[in-house]
Amino acid sequence: MKKITLGIIGGGRIGKLHAENLVRLPEIEIKTISDLFAEQVKEWANHIGIQHVTNDYKEVLQDPEIDAVFVCSPTDTHIQIIIEAAKAGKHIFCEKPISFNVSESLNAIEVVKETGVKLQVGFNRRFDHNFKKVRETVASGKIGDPHIIKVTSRDPHPPHEEYIKGSGGLFIDMAIHDFDIARFVSGSDVEEVYVQGAVLVDPVFAAYGDIDTAITTLRFTNGAIGVIDNSRKAAYGYDQRVEVFGSKGSVTIKNDQPTTAEISTEEGVYQDKPKHFFLERYQEAYIEEVKIFVDCVLNGKDVPVNSNDGLQAELIAHAAKKSLEEKRPVKISEIVGNIKINV
C-alpha cells in the first residue's frame, strides 16, 4: 500500500477534528503537529498516536519526510504558511478562507501554481451526502436550467467575542460556505451581489463592524438568481437547507436530524431538532474530504475543491461586504478590478 506522511499546522478545534479523522486512514501517518500552545495539545496528540508536537510550524515544513500539510491555523497566518509550504514542495490542504485579502490569496495561489503542488480548500459541505445529491441532480439536467437557488444557513448560537474580533466578519467567516455551495449546486459563477444586513442577535457584532443577520441576493453568469439567508442564532438548532428550482422541476434538501421519527399525540406532532452544529451535521463530510485529498496526493489526481473555488468564494464575500457598506449591488468585476486572475 502506498502511504504518505502528513503534518498538521494548528491544533485548535478544526485541527483536532482533521487529525482524528486522518488517523483512521491506513494510508497516512501524521508525523508532526504544530501549535503555538504545544504543551496544551501534547497529551491529546500522543493519545491519538502523534508523537511529535512542536510550537514551530517551520519544523513541519522543513521535514523532508512530510509529503503534505494541513493548514488549520488562524486565517491571518494562511498566506505565509501556504507560500512556505509550496516552496518546500508540500501538498496543501487549507481551511477556508485562503486569506482575508484577494491580492494576497492570488499571490499564494500563484506560488502554488509555480511549484506544482496541490492545494485543496476546506469547503467540506461539498462532500455532504445531501449537497452532493443536489449537485448531481442539477448536473444531470433532471430539473432543467436552474432559475432560483435558495440557501438557508443559520447557526444555533453566536460565537464568543474573541472569535468575532478576528473572524473577518459574517461574509468571510460564515457565509463563505454558502457562497461556495451556491456556486457548487448551480454549476455557475456569480457576477453580481446585493446584501441587506442587520445586527439583531447581539450588539457585540456592531462593536466590531460586523452583522449577525443577512439576506444576500446573487446573480449568476448562467442567468439564475440566488438568495442566501444567514443568522448567527437559530433557537431551534443548526439550520441548513437548499433548494434549486429549475425549468423542469426542483430539488430540495432539508435539515439532518438525529432521527426521522415523527411523534403524533393529542398535544401535537413532534420531530427531533436539527443536528446541533457543524461538527455533528457534517461529520461524514469532513471524513470524506480528507480521504479524497489523500487519494489525490497518492495518485496524482486533481483536487475537487481547488484554488479557484477558494478564490471565487472570497470574491463573493468581499462583494457582499462592499454591497452592505455602500447599500447597492456590486459586480464581482469591481472586486477584481485590475488584478490579473490566472488560476
Can you name the CATH fold of 4-117? Rossmann fold (3.40.50)
Can you name the CATH fold of 126-276+312-336? Dihydrodipicolinate Reductase; domain 2 (3.30.360)
Report the pLDDT value the prediction gives residue 275, as an integer from 0 to 100.
72
Considering the chain, tell me which residue range(s) the CATH 3.30.360.10 domain(s) occupy. 126-276+312-336
User: Span 265-278, mean pLDDT?
Assistant: 79
pLDDT tens readout for residues 76-129: 999 999 999 999 999 999 999 999 999 999 999 999 999 999 999 999 999 999
Question: According to the 3-state scheme, what is the secondary structure of 230-276?
Answer: EECCCCCCCEEEEEEEECCEEEEECCCCCCCCEEEECCEEEECCCCC
pLDDT at 278 over 80: no
Q: The C-alpha cell of 137 is what?
A: 441532480
User: Span 304-330, mean pLDDT?
Assistant: 98
Categorize the per-residue pLDDT at 174 as very low, low, confident or very high, splitting at 50, 70 and 90: very high
Q: The C-alpha cell of 240 is what?
A: 441548513
DSSP state of 222: T
| N-to-C CA span, the chain | 33
18 close to 41: Cβ distance less than 8 angstroms: no
pLDDT tens readout for residues 177-202: 999 999 999 999 999 999 999 999 99
Considering the chain, tell me which residue range(s) the CATH 3.40.50.720 domain(s) occupy. 4-117
